[in-house]
Chains A and B, each alone.
Chain A
């Protein structure tokens, strides 16, 4: 038996190995898991990790996207192409269907729909009997997430109880549930935005074009860059107000989400290398800069998670 000197894994190798371990625990412990895939950069990393974990076999779970109807066309196209190239099953459930069923009621037609994804997700969980949803959330994104477990228990209403979390020790994960209950598993909890970009670079992962610098019409609203006149199947979103001045700006998105509440940052980074450099020296954390809906209340993410949000 070989006894080489202990080898230190690079930090990316370590994070990759941990994420694979977590995905395999889900596969080993849960009977009907599903992996949430949005076409965003974190979930693109998740798919590569799933390939590393399970190839040459098929993934032991389908992919699920909760579509707000407020997505950039190219992200949706990317989502479909990527799932097809992997040969894995993609399920799409739409917030607009929940609106038609009357389970999602908007306060006003233009209301951002991120928050309402919870309802559609819970409906999909019930429809397919999923006992675990694997997601690409990271602890560095937001303060409430910093305290969430890697295997996070949700009761039959999809609620997270931050005061009553299962202790999580060593790498011994407890994904056990009774019928109707659910686990949210976060394999890349310990990754930062920089780690994600480093991984994308190392693995040569393809991304939707909106992550790279491009020129688009925007307005500046309360200090945030708001993309305007964005076409979607349901119509044009973010129509500028009459007194707003539309300008062409070179921007990129650091996160993809509901068009009405996801702001790009000004950037000339048109390659992964440039994005990496920009991220390493950046002065703005990911959600603060780019999620207009998280700024409302200091604890708004915690509130949404309690309600079943991812």
Chain B
């Protein structure tokens, strides 16, 4: 673990360990915003004038020290209330890795923001106040993070400075959490004692937590596996856009048909045999291009253009997949859904589902059960209200090509759109 505290260097010899997206969540006053402020501050990317404007505001509020939480509370209403009500995104870099932090609000009524922030994260930091231990909200956030498929959880037991840096308290909270996690099938949890306020164990080890031998928070982040890096996945390429520049002056482009999209999982090389869905026709990849230039191969998360040997009709919403491992075409889906709208979800209305680049009309056919996100208890329900999470069945007007969410977060996810106002009203994970 070198270079964790050095400012971003641009010398080409520095290894690039990619980009990690993580989520911070916790109850009100657990010190999330302070922790983020500390990460930014200690990784030396909080810049001088942002600080001076925060200093001014801190003084106005009669605070003695700089309030690091003012760094993340962005919207006017939030500043007035002193709380965070919407997901805020923050950035920092250690020079070897870039980080995108999604700061999710802790309030009960904002479950949808937590799910939103979790959807793109590969790691979640769950903050626990050392004085208060594991709370209902701690359990809820952990369950949600797990439900949305975040593979790595870090339980950060914060405010250790207020409990005399007691190892006993740390151990007790850890045991409490482990007992709960075991029941819910939550694995791969990392525990760390820290003080966001003083900075102990965030970036610097400090001197007050000598009994803790594990890595600092930043070391955990630097070593955390990135999305898609842990196992081999099958090739999935939803087509976003078809490039047909036949009207250009260049006759060489007359027959050009480029299928543009992002490799959602797996990899592809020129010469690979692929299948196009829904037609089911197979062809060989003639070229893998970026910006019109051949690059030979593409990996997960790369945006490229594929050219096929054969003239197959392909359009937006179709999916190019690995020939021997195509996803299932489904006209009925079972999913865990989180409902975001004040208008309830029931069986009366038709909605639009967007799955990868495909949009289909959908109707709810059954609610298997609602989930109590504090206990995971299953409850009967006739309709879903805002912030409800439930297991449901949808019937679709056309098939989608889906993998179970647990196997593939990209081809297992969908959003629900209300066509009357085009709002995004729900998010689903296919089972």
Bound Cα distance from A143 to B37, whole angstroms: 13
A-side residues, CB < 8 A to B, are 1-18, 20-21, 24-25, 27-28, 51-58, 60, 139-140, 143-144, 146-147, 153, 162-163, 165-172, 174, 176-178, 181, 189-190, 192, 194-195, 198, 201, 273, 276-277, 280-285, 288-289, 298-299, 302-303
Bound Cα distance from A16 to B18, whole angstroms: 12
State whether the Cβ of B431 lies closer than 8 Å to any Cβ in chain A: no
Q: Which residues of B contact A55 (CB under 8 A)?
A: 291-292
A169 close to B423 (CB less than 8 A): no
Closest CB in chain A relative to B264 CB, distance in Å: 8
* Closest Cβ neighbor of B426 among chain A residues: A167
A2 close to B269 (CB less than 8 A): yes
State whether the Cβ of B119 lies closer than 8 Å to any Cβ in chain A: yes
B120 close to A170 (CB less than 8 A): yes
Q: Which residues of A contact B410 (CB under 8 A)?
A: 170-171
Closest CB in chain B relative to A255 CB, distance in Å: 14
Closest CB in chain A relative to B40 CB, distance in Å: 10
A139 close to B89 (CB less than 8 A): yes
A56 close to B100 (CB less than 8 A): no
Closest CB in chain B relative to A24 CB, distance in Å: 4
Bound Cα distance from A57 to B253, whole angstroms: 9
A56 close to B79 (CB less than 8 A): no
Residues facing A in B69-103 (CB within 8 A) are 72-77, 79, 85-91, 93, 97-98, 100
Bound Cα distance from A162 to B115, whole angstroms: 18
Q: Which residues of B contact A18 (CB under 8 A)?
A: 301, 303
B413 close to A170 (CB less than 8 A): yes
State whether the Cβ of B290 lies closer than 8 Å to any Cβ in chain A: yes
Q: Which residues of A contact B2 (CB under 8 A)?
A: none
* Closest Cβ neighbor of B8 among chain A residues: A280
A176 close to B301 (CB less than 8 A): no
- From B18, B115, B116, B356, contact of A8 by CB (8 A): B18
Closest CB in chain B relative to A122 CB, distance in Å: 20
Q: A147-B88, A167-B116, A177-B422 are in contact. Are A280 and B10 (CB under 8 A)?
A: yes
B100 close to A190 (CB less than 8 A): yes
A15 close to B89 (CB less than 8 A): no
Contact with A along B271-300 (1 / 0, CB 8 A): 011000000000000000011100001011
B-side residues, CB < 8 A to A, are 7-10, 16-19, 47-50, 53, 57, 72-77, 79, 85-91, 93, 97-98, 100, 112-113, 115-116, 119-120, 226, 228-233, 235, 240-241, 243-245, 248, 250, 253, 256, 258, 260-262, 267-269, 272-273, 290-292, 297, 299-303, 316, 322-325, 340, 354-357, 409-410, 413-415, 417, 421-424, 427
Closest CB in chain A relative to B197 CB, distance in Å: 22
Bound Cα distance from A18 to B227, whole angstroms: 14
Closest CB in chain A relative to B64 CB, distance in Å: 20
Bound Cα distance from A93 to B28, whole angstroms: 47
Q: Which residues of A contact B300 (CB under 8 A)?
A: 6-7
- From B93, B231, B423, contact of A194 by CB (8 A): B93
B87 close to A147 (CB less than 8 A): yes
Q: Which residues of A contact B93 (CB under 8 A)?
A: 11, 192, 194
8 contacts between A and B (CB under 8 A): A8-B229, A24-B240, A25-B240, A28-B241, A144-B74, A166-B423, A171-B262, A190-B89
Closest 6 CB pairs of A and B: A55-B292, A143-B74, A20-B303, A176-B422, A52-B291, A288-B49
Q: Which residues of B contact A198 (CB under 8 A)?
A: 10
- From B86, B231, B322, contact of A1 by CB (8 A): B322
A302 close to B7 (CB less than 8 A): no
- Sample of 20 further A-B pairs with CB below 8 A, known A9-B301, A277-B10: A1-B322, A2-B268, A3-B232, A4-B299, A6-B230, A6-B232, A9-B299, A11-B16, A13-B302, A57-B258, A58-B245, A146-B90, A171-B120, A171-B410, A172-B413, A172-B414, A174-B417, A176-B417, A178-B422, A299-B76
